[in-house]
Amino acid sequence: MTKSESIEALLSPSLRVSRPVAACARCRSAKIKCDGKLPACSACERSGKSTSCTSANDEFARGKERSYVAALEAAAQRLQKKIDAARTDAARHQPSSGPPAAGQPQQRRKISGTRRKEASDVDELVSDFGFLTVNATSRDFHGFTSTMSFAKLLLSAAAKEELPPLDSRGLPPRYAITPTINQYLDNIYVLFPLFSETDLMASLSRIYNESAAVSSTVTPLDVWYVRLVLAIAYASTSQRKGDEHDRTALQHMSAARGLAGYVLHPGSIAGVQALLLLVQYSLVDPAHYDSWYLVGMAARLVVDLGLHCEPPPETKISKSALDLRRRIFHCTYAFDRLVSMSLDRAFSFTDDSASEVPLPESASDPPPSQVFQRSLKPSLYLFDIRRVQSAFYQTTRWATRSQWPLATAATYASSVSNDIHAWYTTVPPTLGQRHLMLFNLERLYCQILVVSPNQRVPTSCMTDLNKELVFEYSAQYADLLQPIAQDVSWHAYLTYADICRAKYVGHKFVEVMWSDFDRLIKATHTIREGSPLTNHVPLDNGQRATICLRKIIEILDFARHRWAMPKMREQFEQESAVLFSRLKSRQVEVSSAQYSNQVTANNGTMNSDVAYSNTGSVLDQSTGPYVYDGSSLSQLPSPPISQAALPTDAQQQSMLTPPEEYQQQPGYYLPQGTLPRRSYEFFGGKT
């Protein structure tokens, strides 16, 4: 102790410390300095533990801390309870409704306006909660500013490239856009009825009405509908990036983008419809917008609005409003499953969380007032197959990564294949030929999905039959899709998701070919009895594999021409280059062997005619070393042929019938508690 220190300083030492009082749990346990910054301190950020950084405060004791985001969510819940209590008090003090007096029309309008204002305030508050959840975890969050909006946040996050600067033009005359709108309604709308056809026509009437009194009622949503429908229709018929249709689509999209702040907002069904139209556009223009992000946001808005659940029976809701809720949910569901599966990503929500929403009734039985409108039945068949695809994809890829026993995997694959076949038999042949072709592609894609290797059944555990089925279904899928990619009239049905599907099919085809190359190449494609190709020579699998790879490359080349996205084709060419070389070498070997056997056979025949009678037939060895018993392939579907070659519907159905190995056997069951099984009631199977 120095002399300068006084006795008073020793008797009353200072208790102040330089470190923060409320250190986070990790810094306290490590005994390091904590700056207490929210939502995570600097030490936790440097160590990558930002999500687990918690600190004590006046409300929570040490050891029972909550994170910053959890505290904000608790505050939001308290505010929501206050809103509910205010609503209850307002309803309790509201006078009982009775027949209004003749002299009080102004009072009735005042009450209606008050209710609308209250609903608008609630929607705005819900929207702010959504922003709070998104932005509360970012660094240096200082609240909202006037330049921030849901539409700006959405478009900036979903944009891949900025739209090119184009001159903003007004809408063309109505007679000029009528064929384009009809094309959208005939090809795309009947599969995804996001809105009512009557509403679209009403929007057109309001926009193109020359009366000033009527044109003043035009809303931004009307212009958004028309602009997006035209953009989708023109983009879907474009053949090459930068052509006339592509530029026209970009012009409409650029004009509609200026209205995004008025139509893209949470808390309303109209906002979800506007966002789903943007999802549709992103599927035909993936170079500018990320479809997976947009459909994910649409799914979250649907869940926030409760569209994934049926309203309680005591809720008073009109039949048209209830049908619109179901339409929007199933369209969102179909988009989410299509985009997520094509990109091999997780769903926005599980099937279990939204399993009680029935199909829209207006699509199956339109009212008499809408008898001249387009039938929406194709959308119901599409919604049905999406449920089957979703259940299998979620079970095999995202439920768990543990492998299944071989018997369990075969039983489950067989049951799902039966579901696919049951769905396909409900599709009536009276639908348009284009829709029938699309549903046939859906069937083949589902079958490839079922028999291909996945996390539950790796390639090393696949059966020989599954490998053969992957070969056959992939070849058929490429045969059907490649002409569609080359035909301009089919481009309205071809989206970015279809190209990603083709890449998935090609990848699985290459993977299975390398797993058992020699046996798959030696196999003979046996055509089933009753097929129009019964008298044809069995096809060589080596040539079929080469043709399949080339057609998949041509399909992927569509993305290079249409959207200037050559990466998918280049990657697949690199993946399949070695397989191409081996297939070419095998074909050269086979050709040489066949030539040698033919020469030997001819020499043997000549010698027997001149000298003696040969007791051993040389032709018994004409196939050389590539003899293979193709009995296991006797039930495989035949390759696709042209429609003109099908004389009867029975023969056509026999070509599309799954093999007998996949027919449901009596007494089928699964071990209880092992696999989820759903009982489907398809729309086409209802009586």
- Report DSSP state, residue 463: -
Q: Decide if 143 is inside a domain.
A: yes
Question: pLDDT by residue (tens digit) across 253-306?
Answer: 999 999 999 999 888 999 999 999 999 999 999 999 999 999 999 999 999 999
In DSSP terms, 539 is beta-bridged to 525
pLDDT above 70 (res 129): no
Q: Decide if 390 is inside a domain.
A: no
- What's the rounded mean pLDDT across residues 429-454? 93
Q: Decide if 51 is inside a domain.
A: yes
Q: Decide if 500 is inside a domain.
A: no
Burial (CB count within 10 angstroms: exposed 0-12, middle 13-18, buried 19+), residue 224 = buried
| Per-chain mean pLDDT for the chain | 76
pLDDT at 57: 56
- What's the rounded mean pLDDT across residues 583-606? 64
Determine the structural domain holding residue 39 and report its residue range. 19-88+125-148
- Determine the residue type at 149: S
- What's the rounded mean pLDDT across residues 172-184? 93
pLDDT at 40: 83
**pLDDT category of residue 605 using cuts at 50, 70 and 90:** very low
Strand-pair category, 539-540 with 524-525 = antiparallel
Exposure string for 630-669, b = 16+ CB within 10 A, e = fewer: eeebebbbbbbbeeeeeeeeeebebbbbbbeebeeeeeee
**pLDDT category of residue 534 using cuts at 50, 70 and 90:** very low
- What's the rounded mean pLDDT across residues 122-135? 49
Residue 677's SS3 state is coil
Alpha carbon distance, N-terminus to C-terminus of the chain: 100
Question: pLDDT by residue (tens digit) across 647-674?
Answer: 344 433 333 333 433 333 333 333 333 3
pLDDT at 42: 87
Count of positions (residues) in the chain: 687
> Does the pTM of the predicted model rise above 0.75?
no
How far apart CA 383 and CA 390 sit, in angstroms, is 11
Q: Decide if 47 is inside a domain.
A: yes
**CA distances for 251 relative to 221, 254, 371, 480, 560, angstroms:** 18, 5, 35, 33, 22
pLDDT at 685: 53
Number of domains in the chain: 1
Residue, of 373 and 661, whose pLDDT is higher:
373
Q: Decide if 42 is inside a domain.
A: yes
- What's the rounded mean pLDDT across residues 589-611? 53
pLDDT above 60 (res 103): no
Question: pLDDT by residue (tens digit) across 23-61?
Answer: 888 888 888 888 878 778 888 888 888 877 876 554 554
Q: Decide if 7 is inside a domain.
A: no
pLDDT at 12: 63
pLDDT at 54: 75
The enclosing H or E element of 426 equals helix 406-426
Read off φ and ψ for residue 55, nearest 5 degrees. Answer: -135, 150
Residue, of 683 and 661, whose pLDDT is higher:
683
Residue, of 24 and 475, whose pLDDT is higher:
475
Per the CB < 8 A criterion, the answer to whether 420 and 446 are in contact is yes
Read off φ and ψ for residue 45, nearest 5 degrees. Answer: -65, -40
In DSSP terms, 28 is beta-bridged to none
Helix (H), strand (E), coil (C) string for 107-154: HHHHHHHHHHHHHHHHHHHHHHHHHHHHHCCCCCCCCCCCCCCHHHHH
CATH code of the domain covering residue 76 = 4.10.240.10
DSSP track, 292-318: HHHHHHHHHHHHHHTTTSPPPTTS---
pLDDT above 50 (res 530): no
Helix axes 291-305, 150-158, angle to 10 degrees: 150
Q: Decide if 27 is inside a domain.
A: yes
Give percent of the chain above pLDDT 90. 41
Question: pLDDT by residue (tens digit) across 381-412?
Answer: 999 999 999 999 999 887 667 888 888 888 99
The stretches of 62-104 forming alpha helices (DSSP H) are 68-93
pLDDT at 20: 43
Sign (positive/negative) of CA torsion 194, 196, 201, 203? negative
Q: Flag the least confident range among 80-89, 592-601, 656-665.
A: 656-665
How far apart CA 187 and CA 190 sit, in angstroms, is 6
